Structure 1
């Protein structure tokens, strides 16, 4: 990789970040004018006053402006059939999100349209041919999966699209997690010399970072389904084009670690709802961020904790890419042990603080 590549990727980041930062106030005014406003009506809402939605429209605009600049002025990013498919699918997701942010749609309708949007890049050639990669991991084994790759790829795209949307429950949470994940993708793609996907990931991360000043607690605007589903869709597509490859275990572990928090939260939510006899798409107040709030933490504390957790997982993914699965496993194990110790210490400190608080209350009586 030459210095030119690093400058190009930094440029993609800063163009997107700057555009989103300056256009978001206008998007906020527009959202209030058309009635795209989140009014707190139930216990799931963590805010007490009406807040504009549609912030994702600014995120999308910043991303498009950034990659549009490089499509027009650089040979490092070409309008290939796969990229056309990704952008076409993302546009459908954005339109769906805008409609849903103004007039909420039924979950079934959204799900069907998401499948259609995911199918577009798939039929433009973007696939996860997982079992084909086993020939690299074990040269004498080759298991073609044929048309099953279509189903698996659509499942991955729709799954990540909804996973990011599900975790968008606190100010700045989805934007920050997506920003951390995409910056990590940029690092990995630079290592693997995938300049085209690194530019897309850099533009996406810049758009997230440019939006956070308006979305961090106390939020002035929400990204809404418009932004959360767009980020999820793009994270899924960029991970397929830029990360799935190499050995099977490594190729799956890297994108999974980068997106582990929304994947885990969504998987647990679906299982929880099915066991309760509810629709998997039904809303509730049992996501990981809600549970941490119920422990007595503030919104900012919860968001920062989940940022750190995501960062640790991303460091593990980067370590696997640079060091290989064998050497990196020790690093991953040590990191997770340290995280577990930190959680235990934090839990014990909380118990001590609660005990001290009860003791102080007893003394004042």
Structure 2
């Protein structure tokens, strides 16, 4: 485990250094986010967080982690999606182009590495569900769902990075308990590099003499989603699985539920499911009277609760159907909350006003 702490520290240092090196380059390359429309930040912010995290992961992995074919293809596909995200940050690619790119990159894992669904577990109490050949396309769709869920949730400082970090912390524990040190160390590299990014993203200022503020950009959020999707499928399948498929669901339950809920509401209103808006759960909490820091803490508590519940149910060998039923119950509660979000906003504002 000492090597794990070295990887954690080294990935943090490398990501921190990468940000400092990339910040002056970002403005020259026009890889920046400008305020306007839905974007309410002040000043021009470099979009180099994703590139810095990937560079740190790449170097740390090369120096300290074994290089089986899984890791090498992981880094290759990760580099491709970071590049596509950077192009999207610079030129604003169409949703169709992004989906095609995500599909092709996801296929690298599914068809080149055989990362697919062998089993969904006993979700309904009637025996193990084996998807057969459908396990391949369903794995591609699942990875794409994770990519877009994290990308669509990237609407406030620190949110995607913090939520991903909580999931990676849970994966460190589960992979470690299973003896899979390669992927445990990879997750620790993600924790260190994401931690360095969050320092700039949450506490950075726009003054050159201080820590400069940066955003993750589409390159970072899609890389986080791709990494979580692949690691959760890989860790939950096969004879040496570190956890059950339903446990993997708990680790991305919040962003996945938020994404599908928002997409359904957009389609119902006659809009494109990929059209951006300000109706995500964190936007609802902000409109309810909470400030950005309080909203981030609330989202982190929810994500942390989901990860802990999923891990505890796995450790104590709860039946898959019981764990799945709990996840479905939370999804239903989420739908009811979003359907009556205006009541929650009005009640919360009245309560905050009365307390003040």
TM range (shorter): 0.7 to 0.9
Q: Which moved more, 1:182-191 or 1:24-33?
A: 24-33
Deviates more, 1:83-92 or 1:264-273: 83-92
Alignment-derived partner of residue 185 in structure 2:
199
Tell me the C-alpha RMSD between the 2 structures: 3.1
List, as ranges, runs of 4+ consecutive aligned residues in structure 1 with deviation greater than 6 Å: 327-330, 345-349
1:251 paired residue number: 244
In structure 2, the residue matched to 1:163 is 149
In structure 1, distance between residues paired with 2:234 and 2:129: 21
- Would you say the 8 A contact 1:194–1:242 is kept in 2? no
Unpaired runs of at least 5, structure 2:
206-212, 338-343
Cα distance, 1:266 vs structure 2: 0.6
In structure 1, what is the Cα distance between the partners aligned to 2:305 and 2:345?
17
Structure 1's 327 and 267: CA in aligned 2 closer, same or farther, altered over 3 A?
closer
Q: Deviations over 1:193-241 (max 9, x none)?
A: 1112111111112111111000116671101001110111011111122
Which of 44, 54, 77 lines up with 1:89 in the alignment?
A: 77
The Cα of 1:327 is off from its aligned counterpart by 11
Q: Does the CA-based 8 Å contact 2:266-2:272 persist in structure 1? A: yes
Residue 10 of structure 1 corresponds to 5
Whole-Å separation in 2 of the counterparts to 1:309 and 1:56: 24
- TM score, norm. by length of structure 1: 0.83
Structure 1 residue aligned with 2:350: 351
1:24 aligns with one of 6, 19, 32: 19
Query: Which of 50, 61, 67 lines up with 1:67 in the alignment?
Result: 61
Which of the residues 161, 174, 177 maps onto 2:160? 174
Question: In structure 1, the residue corresponding to 2:247 is in which secondary structure?
Answer: helix
Q: Deviations over 1:277-330 (max 9, x none)?
A: 111111111011111111121111111111111111111122022111159969
1:235 aligns with 2:228: yes
Q: Which runs of 5+ in 1 are unaligned?
A: 1-5, 72-76, 358-365
**Per-residue deviation, residues 240-283 of structure 1 (Å, max 9, x unmatched):** 222345799x7222111111111111111111111111111111
1:258-269 aligned within 5 A: 258-269=251-262
Alignment of 1:191-340 (within 5 A): 191-216=177-202, 220-244=213-237, 251-326=244-319
Equivalent pair of 1:133/1:246 in contact (CA under 8 Å): no
- Does the C-alpha gap of structure 1 residues 296 and 198 become closer, same or farther in structure 2, counting only changes over 3 Å? same
1:52-201 alignment, distance < 5 Å: 52-71=46-65, 77-80=66-69, 82-131=70-119, 144-201=130-187
1:38 corresponds to: 33
How big is the shift at 1:66? Answer: 1.1
In structure 2, the CA distance between the partners of 1:143 and 1:259, relative to structure 1 (3 Å rule), is: closer
Q: Per-residue deviation at 1:127?
A: 2.5
Aligned residues of 1:131 and 1:144 also touching (Cα < 8 A): yes
Report the CA distance between 1:11 and its aligned residue.
2.1
For residues 145-184 of structure 1, give each alpha carbon's deviation from its aligned partner in whole angstroms, at most 9, with x where no partner exists: 3331110110111110111111111001111111111011
Tell me which residue corresponds to 2:340: none
Q: Name the CA distance, whole Å, in 2 between partners of 1:36 and 1:202.
A: 28
Larger Rg: 1
CA contact (8 A) 1:319 1:328 kept: no
In 1: Cα distance, 2:8 partner to 2:188 partner: 5
- CA–CA distance in structure 2, aligned partners of residues 234 and 53 of structure 1: 19
